[in-house]
């Protein structure tokens, strides 16, 4: 059984002006997401700026999220690292907090071989009992986990069950699902490819767009699952301009800017991420207005 089905939000981490985590605001965002129909909350992922949190902040935010959600929807904790020992540490600690699954990114910078990736993920999985979603985003990590390696992991390691695919390579995803034989739960990691990946058997999306439009992204998935493929497709296409605007600068710069434009007051970004360029702010504002959320 899939960890979740539908639209999971890759939730932002709100900060105070001094860079500390704004837990009160985070709690508000969680409540708004659940009220908006979000099907799962993914905490401390790329969008949550996990790479610039200390280990203590990272784990405390996971704990806080799990306690706040309190079982209402699945909570999936990002616990990946380019250091296998660190990923094991974050994963085993997160498991203690009662999360429903882990999202583990391919190790960045090291550029491991496929055998190295297999050993990395297997070592993490062997240290916990939680189900694990692999996260493939070579544009950010410089590392691509190949379909054969994904299928091997999901076949040989019982608690590796899924992949968040953000390579953007539809051909690679097709090959993966052809090899998977039902052993791999697929989630889109790109908001502009949700319907195409669901047409290949995907279970939904781990979404940036859901931060600003939770109900709309949920509906894209639900319409598809209900058999309204045309309705799902139309909603996907209607969102394309906003999806593109949300990635006109590196994530999560635009989505945090968008939330602030909506009055959500999620605060600044952690360096080295910087404020959005004024021309891109206007592009984002126009896209949000045209989509009807601003």
What element of type H or E holds 207? strand 204-207
Whether the model clears a pTM of 0.85, i.e. scores above it, the answer is yes
As a residue count, the chain comes to 294
The confidence score (pLDDT) of residue 1 equals 79
Q: Is 7 helix (H, G, I), strand (E, B) or coil?
A: strand
Domain coordinates in residue numbering, the chain: 7-229
Q: Is 201 helix (H, G, I), strand (E, B) or coil?
A: coil
Cis peptide bond prior to 254, omega within 30° of 0:
no
The number of angstroms, rounded, from the C-alpha of 282 to the middle of its chain's C-alpha atoms is 26
The confidence score (pLDDT) of residue 108 equals 95
Residues contacting 15, CB < 8 A, separation 6+: 21, 22, 266, 267, 268, 269, 270
What are the average pLDDT values for consecutive 10-residue runs of the chain, which has 294 residues?
95 98 98 98 98 97 98 98 98 98 97 97 98 97 97 98 97 98 97 98 98 98 98 98 98 98 98 97 98 97
Helix axes 147-156, 114-126, angle to 10 degrees: 30
| Architecture of the structural domain at 7-229 | Alpha-Beta Barrel (3.20)
Residues contacting 16, CB < 8 A, separation 6+: 22, 267
User: Are the C-beta atoms of residues 145 and 134 closer than 8 Å to each other?
Assistant: yes
Residues known to be catalytic: 135, 164
């Amino acid at each position: 059984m899939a960890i979740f089905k539908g639209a999971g939000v890759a939730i932002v981490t709100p900060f105070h002006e001094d860079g500390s985590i704004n837990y009160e605001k985070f709690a508000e965002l969680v409540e708004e997401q659940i009220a908006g129909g979000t099907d799962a909350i993914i905490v401390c992922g790329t969008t949550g700026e996990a790479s610039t949190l200390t280990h203590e902040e990272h784990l405390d935010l996971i704990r806080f999220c799990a306690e706040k959600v309190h079982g209402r929807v699945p909570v999936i904790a990002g616990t990946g690292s380019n250091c296998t020992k660190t990923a094991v540490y974050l994963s085993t600690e997160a498991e203690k907090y009662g999360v429903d699954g882990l999202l583990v990114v391919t190790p960045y910078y090291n550029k491991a071989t496929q055998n190295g990736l297999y050993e990395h993920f297997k070592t993490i999985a062997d240290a916990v009992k939680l189900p694990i979603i692999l996260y493939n985003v070579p544009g950010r990590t410089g590392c691509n986990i190949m379909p054969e390696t994904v299928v091997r992991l999901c076949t040989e390691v019982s608690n590796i069950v899924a992949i968040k695919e953000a390579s953007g390579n539809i051909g690679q995803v097709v090959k993966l699902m052809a090899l998977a034989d039902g052993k791999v739960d697929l989630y889109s990691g790109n908001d502009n490819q949700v319907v195409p990946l669901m047409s290949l058997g995907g279970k939904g999306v781990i979404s940036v767009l859901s931060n600003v439009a939770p109900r709309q992204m949920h509906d894209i998935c639900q319409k598809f699952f209900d058999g309204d493929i045309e309705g799902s497709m139309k909603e996907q296409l209607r969102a394309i301009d906003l999806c593109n605007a949300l990635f006109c600068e590196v994530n999560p710069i635009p989505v945090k800017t968008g939330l602030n434009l909506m009055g959500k007051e999620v605060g600044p970004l952690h360096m080295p991420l910087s404020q959005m360029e004024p021309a891109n702010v206007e592009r984002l504002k126009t896209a949000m207005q045209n989509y009807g959320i601003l």
